[in-house]
Structure 1
Amino acid sequence: MTKRLHGVIAPVLTPFNDKLEPDVERFIAHCRWLVDNHAGLAIFGTNSEAASLSVGERLSLAQALVEAGIPAAMLMPGTGACALPDAVELTRHATRIGASGALVLPPFYFKGVSDDGVFAYYAEIIERVGSGCVPIYLYHIPQLSQVPITLGLIERLLERYPGTIAGAKDSSGDWKNSKAMIDNFATAGFDVFPASESLLSQALPIGGAGCISATVNMNPAGIHRLFEGWQGPEAAKLQAKADAIRTIFQAAPMIPAMKHVVSSFAAHPSWRRVRPPLVALGDAAGGEVLARLDAAGFDMPGYPRRPQ
């Protein structure tokens, strides 16, 4: 049986080369650094610019990680897509490589769809992948998808596929919703991951499974210490430090800001690249983010320090 991921998980940033193609070497290196700092890998999440990646790119990047020796058990690939066959292909591949789970966004082009339609989408994926389907994590990000994962939908899916529906990432930013997911379904083995480390101190005491947070890309060790130490004497201090770092990134366009900072620590300007329609952070804005991080004592151990 596939061992489930818990704890601190990064929706991994995707580096691009000068042709705006995924930079496989730097992608592998970033993933290895994250794993070394106790983070799981939700490759092809929102912060991976997954909606800007083709199916072929996602398949080849996932395969490259496994072939590079990144443990498949650390992977939770994003496999959702507007086209059902694409979602099936991606989920089938996640199953084949032995990933710990698949984070599955609902189809997001049509709006106002019913729970019946979303249920059918997830059911078709599970049925078409067949026996041994990778555990499915529902991706609730209604501010972008406009297709919510409702409590009623979760209940129906758990009743039909209790061995396959494993949990959810709640990116709504609404603590009441995350709490309701945990309160209603955690005892049924449904693992709920809020999308911010700022909610760890609230989620873990009531049965939350951890967090899948953008800024795990930047602060994996610090957020892992918070996850491990939430009941300890340093819990409030660890939470405050993690919150301070996240607040700095939230004050800027997060994906360009994170890539700008990685670029600085990696001493490689290409890390700044984003795929259109996103736009890279300019030098002035990027410098402001770096200055605020310096003042907060931020570091990325294992990445080369930026030149002084």
Structure 2
Amino acid sequence: MSEKLYGVVPPLLTIFAENGEVDYRGTAKLAKFLSNHVHALFVCGTYGNGPLMSVEERIRVLEAVESEVRDRVPLVVHVGTTSTPDAIKLARHAEEVGAIAVAAVPPYYFHHPDERVVRHFSKIVENVSIPVYVYNNPKTVGYPVTPALLKKLEAAGVKGVKDSSFDILMLEEYKLATSDDFDVVLGTEALFLPAYILGVRAFVPGLANAFPELIRELFDSCISGDLKNAKHLHDKVYKLRKIAYKAGASNVGVLALLKMRGFSKGYPRQPFGMVEDEVYSVMKAEVSKVFGGNIPPIG
């Protein structure tokens, strides 16, 4: 992949069975549905519960998804973990199965100084020939990818950043700190419209797991210059996002939204739990209101 990422790239939910085992078939089924509406898929990230799975489970998830959507949409694979050897193993496997790029949060749990983070990413870059992105998610990692660190990572061979800081100013700081060839990707639907106006052209929106058609329409409206419709759609997206967060965790909330559309029942992996019935009923009523009384079923 020589070009930058483009379009709507949902962070694919990993589906689990009630007993906590990975539902590989269910995950592949969701990937196939999404592939009809989006530009690419981001596998085993935050929504994909990558940190909740073993290395072998992550490998099997990617293989199941790749088998289902081969020649339909390209895949970007999250390989972030606590250790450099595991990240390298996941990155090599991703390249072997045909991923167009890999991304990784900095090593989490321990707070690492810049030089360690740069060394970690340098090792990943050395072991694959596809682009490597750093994934800035300070809330879950425990420390941020600062503009100064990002500049060092670019010098070490990192090709882009997926930013989930929810700070629109950080996107500008990243652009100022890096070259024009460096790819800055937005990791949320919450700032879709302002990020687009600032020049971002690739988005990793968790809500697109449940409503890929809506997010794609928003993107297409931006591309066509219909900012009036884009603003209308952005408002709808934001309302749905707020509803999803009533579940207490966005991945659990979006799974509930999928259920409302008729997707076969899936479960989150513990310690996450299902949305309580009372909360689910409130969420469903609010989603129905957003769509004028009828939640669109999955076609």
**Structure 1 position 260, deviation (Å):** 2.0
Partner of residue 289, structure 2: 295
Assess if the C-alpha contact under 8 Å between 1:4 and 1:101 holds in 2.
no
Distance of 1:267 and 1:180 partners within structure 2:
40
Is 1:99 aligned to 2:94, yes or no?
Answer: no
**Structure 1 position 160, deviation (Å):** 3.1
SS at match of 2:190: helix
Instruction: Report the residue type matching 1:293 in the other structure.
Output: V
Normalising by structure 1, we get a TM-score of 0.88
Distance of 1:267 and 1:75 partners within structure 2:
22
**Structure 1 position 72, deviation (Å):** 7.8
Assess if the C-alpha contact under 8 Å between 1:107 and 1:147 holds in 2.
no
Is 1:18 aligned to 2:22, yes or no?
Answer: no
Partner of residue 266, structure 1: 262
Structure 1's unaligned 5+ residue stretches are: 304-308
Partner of residue 169, structure 1: 162
**Structure 1 position 268, deviation (Å):** 3.2
Partner of residue 123, structure 2: 124
Distance of 1:86 and 1:26 partners within structure 2:
25
CA RMSD of aligned residues (A): 1.9
Match of 1:178 among 171, 175, 183: 171
How many residues are matched? 293
**Structure 1 position 287, deviation (Å):** 1.3
Distance of 1:39 and 1:249 partners within structure 2:
23
Q: Which shifted more, 175-184 or 51-60?
A: 175-184
Structure 2's unaligned 5+ residue stretches are: none
Distance of 2:236 and 2:71 partners within structure 1:
29
Assess if the C-alpha contact under 8 Å between 2:28 and 2:65 holds in 1.
yes
SS at match of 1:46: coil
**Structure 1 position 286, deviation (Å):** 1.0
| Percent of paired sites with the same residue | 26
Partner of residue 245, structure 1: 240
Distance of 1:267 and 1:211 partners within structure 2:
23
SS at match of 1:180: helix
Distance of 2:185 and 2:242 partners within structure 1:
19
Is 1:45 aligned to 2:45, yes or no?
Answer: yes
1:142-164 C-alpha deviation (Å, 9 max, x unpaired)? 11101321211221222232xxx
Instruction: Report the residue type matching 2:217 in the other structure.
Output: R
Partner of residue 134, structure 2: 138
Q: Which shifted more, 215-224 or 203-212?
A: 203-212
SS at match of 1:197: coil
1:63-95 C-alpha deviation (Å, 9 max, x unpaired)? 122223434852111101101111000000111
1:13-54 C-alpha deviation (Å, 9 max, x unpaired)? 111123311111111110111110124211111111111111
Is 1:255 aligned to 2:251, yes or no?
Answer: yes
Assess if the C-alpha contact under 8 Å between 1:81 and 1:107 holds in 2.
yes
Assess if the C-alpha contact under 8 Å between 1:72 and 1:98 holds in 2.
no
Alignment of 1:137-286 (within 5 A): 137-161=133-157, 165-185=158-178, 187-230=179-222, 231-232=225-226, 233-253=228-248, 254-266=250-262, 268-269=264-265, 271=266, 273-286=267-280
Q: Which shifted more, 86-95 or 58-67?
A: 58-67
Instruction: Report the residue type matching 1:40 in the other structure.
Output: A
Distance of 1:264 and 1:202 partners within structure 2:
29
Normalising by structure 2, we get a TM-score of 0.91
Assess if the C-alpha contact under 8 Å between 2:253 and 2:275 holds in 1.
yes
**Structure 1 position 263, deviation (Å):** 2.4
